[in-house]
Structure 1
Amino acid sequence: MSMAGQIAFITGGAMGIGRAFTETLLAEGAEKVYIADMNEEAGRNTVTELEAQFGSGRCALLVVDVTNSAQFEDAFQRAVTESGHIDLMVNNAGTFNESDWEPVVELNLVACVRGSKLAMEHMNKKNGGRGGRVINTSSGLGLHDLHATPLYCATKSGVRSFTSSMALHPDRELTGVQFASICPTSVKTDFLKKFDERTCFYFHTFKDVLDNMSITPSQVAEGFLKLLRMPHMNGAILKVGESGAEFCKLEYVGLGSDWTPPP
């Protein structure tokens, strides 16, 4: 799909992979990108820098806490009112803290569901919309279990499963809305600085993994671009790691009536 003339809305788009996604959208010709982010300073810097590169009026900051349903809905409606429609919704905002679980669930999973529902209601051709796409940021840990991050794994698995299930909508051809998830492995951003003995279980067993498996935001953005350019991306699960981007799927594997726990 060409992004030329398209309107995008992205949560957590001010820094890290969210900023890389925003820059990719503008480089691909998006008419405008709305950045919904709590970090006003980072957001304003991002808008200033990207508009200097791509042109005035190409992106806008909406300072919003997407875990606040009223704020999120209001920000989305403001973007719709100003531009008339949203063609691409990217639910990217996320956090990490195994010691404080409720805010993590609210941001990583609940806000993603809310954003997807807002987009679906607005884009749905059956409601008078013009169709569109929803890309949700899951994680490599939405595909695998890890002892150090059970909460993060749970929320990102939830994002991946929710997105894949939404893609199975029986009226998807009539709604005109496609759903896909992107699952990056550990990315070299300030996000990794949150991983320590307080926010992560058995951090000493996990630190080497972080040090040896980190990829850059630009590598994740290359996978994101792959999804954008696909004529049909509905149901795609794209894992992005050191070896590049690869599509995957999760399947039930029966192990019989007897089971031996792993060592």
Structure 2
Amino acid sequence: MSMAGQIAFITGGAMGIGRAFTETLLAEGAEKVYIADKNVDAGQKTVAELEAQYGSGRCALVVVDITNAVQFEEAFQTAADESKQIDLMVNNAGTLNEYDWEPVVQLNLVACVRGSKLAMKHMSKKNGGRGGRIINTCSDLGLIDFHQLPLYCATKHGVRSFTSSMALHPDKELTGVQFACICPSVTRTDLMRSYNETISMAEDLEAIAIPTSRVAEGFLKLLRMSRMNGAILYIDKLKCEFCKLEYVGLGPAWTPQQ
């Protein structure tokens, strides 16, 4: 599906995976990308660099803390009012902190749900919209369990299940809104580096991590699909493939102790 003339709104678009997604959208011809981020310096730097490359007015920084419901709703509505439409919503912002759990849940999961619902209300043909697509950034840890990051796993499993469940909604044809999630393996970002410095790992994450450009390749694969609803796209160094979870394998049979 062509991005020409499309308007996108992406959270956490100033750095890392979000910036790679933003650049991909502009390279594919998106008319404008709204970058929602609370990091003003990084956001301004990204906008300046990308507009120098792709043209003035092609992207805009929306300074917002998306864990604040009022701020998030106002920021999205401002972008929608200005452009008259949002065709693609990318809920990408996320964090990792196993010691301070509530902000992680608010950003990784609650803000993702809120962003999806804001976008769906705006896009739905039942509300006078013209349809659209919602892509949520998940993780390979939304597909498996990992003892060192139980909280992060919980939020990403929530994102994956929420996205997949929304894609099954019986009104999906009437709303014209498609849902998909992208699940990259450990990726070379500042978030990964901060984790690698604070948690003892058997492996050097820097050595096994994939670059953000690799995740962007998968993102582009989703963008170019005419129909992506329900897609769960897993990406690592060697694979970029779709998967479907119909049940969770619990491994060897577990017998309760009497």
**TM-score where L is the length of structure 2:** 0.95
Which residue matches 2:233?
Answer: 238
Q: 1:251 to 1:209 in 2, by over 3 A?
A: farther
Q: What's the secondary structure of 2:71's corresponding residue?
A: helix
How far 1:244 moved relative to its partner? 2.9
Query: Are the equivalent residues in 2 in contact too, given 1:24–1:221 (CA < 8 A)?
Result: yes
- Equivalence for 2:62: 62
Q: Does 1:166 align with 2:153?
A: no
CA 1:144–1:48: 2 relative to 1, 3 Å: same
User: 1:259 matched to which residue of 2?
Assistant: 254
The sequence identity of aligned pairs, in percent, is 74
CA contact (8 A) 2:193 2:206 kept: no
2:211 — aligned with what?
Answer: 216
- Which of 223, 248, 252 is the equivalent residue of 1:228? 223
What is the distance in 2 between the residues matched to 1:48 and 1:125? Answer: 35
- 1:146 is paired with a residue whose SS is coil
Q: Could you tell me how far 1:189 is from its partner in structure 2? A: 1.1
User: Does residue 75 of the first structure (1) align with residue 70 of the second (2)?
Assistant: no
Could you say what secondary structure the match of 1:208 adopts? coil
Aligned mates of 2:245, 2:226 — CA distance in 1: 23
Q: Partner of 2:66: helix, strand, or coil?
A: coil
Instruction: Find the aligned partners of 1:257 and 1:187 in 2 and give their Cα distance.
Output: 31
The alpha-carbon deviation at position 250 of structure 1 amounts to 1.1
Amino acid at match of 1:241: D
Report the aligned-residue RMSD.
Answer: 1.8
CA distance in structure 1 between the partners assigned to 2:222 and 2:196 by the alignment: 33
**Counterpart contact for 1:14–1:35, Cα < 8 Å:** yes
Whether the 8 Å CA contact 2:36–2:61 is kept in 1: the answer is yes
Change in CA separation of 1:190 and 1:218 when aligned onto 2, cut-off 3 Å: same
Tell me which amino acid in the other structure corresponds to 2:188: K
Return closer, same or farther for 1:254/1:225 CA change in 2, 3 Å cut-off. Answer: closer
Could you tell me how far 1:7 is from its partner in structure 2?
A: 0.2
Q: CA deviation at 1:193?
A: 2.2
Deviations 1:231-261 (A, max 9, x none): 0000000011011311111122677995259
For the residues of structure 2 that align with 1:250 and 1:212, how far apart are their CA atoms?
29
Q: What are the Cα deviations for residues 120-159 of structure 1, in whole angstroms up to 9, with x where unaligned?
A: 1000001101000000000010001001000000000100
**1:97 touches 1:194 (CA, 8 Å); kept in 2?**
no
Distance 1:29 1:196, change over 3 A: closer
1:36 aligns with: 36
Inter-partner Cα distance in structure 1 for 2:111 and 2:120: 14
Q: Check conservation: 2:196, 2:205, Cα contact below 8 A.
A: no
Partner of 2:181: 181
Aligned to 2:105: 105
Q: CA deviation at 1:63?
A: 0.4
Q: Quick one: structure 1 residues 12 and 60, their matched pair in 2 at CA, closer, same or farther if it must change by over 3 Å?
A: same
CA contact (8 A) 2:188 2:206 kept: no
Map Cα deviations across residues 38-74 of structure 1 (whole Å, 9 max, x no partner): 1000000000000000000000000000000000000
> After TM superposition, where is structure 1 displaced by more than 4 Å over at least 4 residues in a row?
253-258
Which amino acid in 2 is paired with 1:16?
A: G
Q: Aligned equivalents of 1:196 and 1:6: distance in 2?
A: 37
Query: Given the alignment of the two structures, is residue 138 of structure 1 paired with residue 138 of structure 2, yes or no?
Result: yes
- Figure out how many residues of one structure are paired with residues of the other and give that number: 256
Q: Which runs of 5+ in 1 are unaligned?
A: none
How does the TM-score come out when normalised to structure 1? Answer: 0.93
